Structure 1
Amino acid sequence: MKKVTYLFFAIAFGLTILSIVPAKAQCAMCTAAVESNSKSGNHATKGLNAGIMYLLAAPYLAVTVCGYIWYKKYRRKNVVLDMHNEKLNLN
Structure 2
Amino acid sequence: MKKILQILVVVLLGSLQTMAQCSLCTKTAQQLGEGPAKGLNNGILYLALTPLLIIGILGFRYWRSTRQS
TM-score (ref. length: structure 1): 0.37
Using CA pairs below 8 Å that are at least 6 residues apart, which structure has the higher relative contact order?
Answer: 2
